[in-house]
Structures are given as C-alpha cells and as structure tokens.
Amino acid sequence: METKIRAGFTLIELLIVIAVIAILAAILFPVFAQAREKARQTTCLSNLRQIGMAWTLYAQDYDENVCPSYYYGKNTDQENAWDFRLTWRAGAKPDWKFGLLGDYAKAGALNRCPSFAGEAWGRPYTGYAYNATYVGGDVWAGTSPCALAQMLAPAKTAVFADGGFGDPVAAENYLRAPSDPLYGAGQVHFRHHKSASVSYGDGHAKATTRRCLGSPYELEVGALSEDDSAYNLEEK
C-alpha cells in the first residue's frame, strides 16, 4: 500500500511569508492611518461649519451682535460660555449643559473634534476655541463682543479653530491673538497631520498648515499669523 505524503510549508517558506506580511503592514498601516485622520478632519470641518452657522444665527437674534465668549451669573460658580453652561462645585466636576450656541446648533448639541483627547480638568470640551481677543470679548479683560458690522474682512477673520496649548497638548476653548497676554494658553492645535481646521466670519471653514510662532517645546500648537492679522476685525 502506497503511503501519501502531505505537502507543507518549509520553515524558510514560512519565514518568507511572515516577512512579506510585515513589509506590507509597514507600507499600508501609515496609509490607513492617514486615510482615517483625513476622514476625521472632514468631520471636524463639518462640525466647525455647523458651529459657525449657529454663531451667525445667534447674531441675527441679537441685533447683529455676536455671541459672548463667556459671562458669569450672580455667583462666579455659574459660568455661561459659548460652548457649555457650567455650575462649578468644590472638589467635583461641574454640572453642565450646552451653552450659548447650543440652542442654535443642530439637535441642540455642539459636536466635538474626533481627533482631540487631552486634559480638560473636568470641564467638557469640544476641541474648538472661540476668538475671545477680538470677536467674543473677555469679561476679565473688560472687552465686549463685536458686532458683525465691525468685522471688515469676515472671510479672513478666524472665529473658531482647533484649540490647544502645551506639550502634551491640553484643552482650551478660547482662541487668543499673539498680542493677547493669554496667548500662551489660547493657541491653535495643528492636530490633523500638521494642519488645523478654522472657521471664519463669513461661515466657511477650511484647513490650514501655516503654523506661525512655533516653538521647539510645543511642536503641535502655534498661531494663525505672526501678528494679529488673522484674528482682528480690520481690512486684511
């Protein structure tokens, strides 16, 4: 009776297959990661367009005056901000609901950037920052929100952007121009493969790779311009 011998892989053949798989993985994984991040950036831009639309609708309801960055109730533990309304409690995370733009956003919610995950110190966070230096105003600095008519170049004035500061990048929800004393804690986060999503005063949103005032100690954050020109209300 003839004995049948099963054919199989030799050790060398198995090693070759494993090596080919490893090479393909090394080539394809970065491609997949880049495609995933591109999809996230598309979602991010869509979120910013919706926030920009909510911002415009708010202004239409308030005699063309834009949404304040934030203000406080009778007590400073009641914070009403563009993104969230907060009731701060000692030693605990704040109670919250969507803020001043929430009523104007789709489904009453402000969607978050899918690419951001950083320390927010218990505060809810969308991943986006609002121009508090020139547009939304700042209670502590004594500046008021602007009127739409004051924005002389709305298509070039940044209103919202991917926000963050530090290394590792932490959350912040107020965008600051370079001349602002609080600029260091109000920068733009270039989180989408070295690009950042920005929403402008005319409602459009786009990605930018132009990182200004970069620091070797904070490699992912920076400004939209070397001066205040990308933030202020003047003719560009």
Q: Minimal CA–CA distance to 194: which of 219, 157, 218?
A: 219
Rounded to 5 degrees, φ, ψ at 105 are -90, 160
Nearest to 52, CA basis, from 114, 145, 131, 144? 131
DSSP-assigned states of every residue in the chain: -PPPPPP---HHHHHHHHHHHHHHHHHHHHHHHHHHHHHHHHHHHHHHHHHHHHHHHHHHHTTTBPPPSEEE-SSTTEEEESSEEEEEETTEEEEEEE-TTGGGSGGG--PPPTT-----TT----SEEEETTTTS-BTTTTBPPPBGGG-S-GGG-EEEEEB-BTTTTB---EE--TTSTTGGGS-EE-TTTS-EEEEETTS-EEEE---BS-BTTBTTEEBSSSSSTTTSSS--
Q: For 135-158, what is the mean pLDDT?
A: 96
Q: Which of 5-14, 58-67, 88-97 is predicted least confidently?
A: 5-14
Instruction: Look at residue 192 in the predicted model and tell me its pLDDT.
Output: 94
Higher-confidence residue of 77 and 55: namely 55
Question: Which of residues 24 and 188 earns the better pLDDT score?
Answer: 188
140: which 2 tokens?
């502590």
- Is the predicted pLDDT of residue 151 greater than 70, yes or no? yes
Q: What angle do CA 57, 59, 65 make, to 5 degrees?
A: 175
Inter-CA distances, 24 with 20, 32, 80, 119, Å? 6, 12, 51, 35
Cα(45)–Cα(191) distance, rounded to whole angstroms?
A: 13
Per-residue pLDDT of 125-137, as tens digits, reads 999 999 999 999 9
Compute the average pLDDT of residues 119-145. 95
Nearest of 119, 135, 127 to residue 45 by alpha carbon = 127
Rounded CA separation 69/61 (Å): 16
pLDDT band at 208 (very low <50, low <70, confident <90, very high): very high
Mean pLDDT along residues 167-183: 96
* Low-confidence winner among 7-11, 104-108, 129-133 (lowest mean pLDDT): 7-11
The CA–CA distances, whole Å, from 136 to 57, 161, 211 equal 15, 13, 23
Domain limits, the chain:
11-222
The average confidence (pLDDT) of the chain is 90
Among 55, 161, 54, residue whose Cα is nearest residue 106: 54
Provide the pLDDT for residue 143.
95
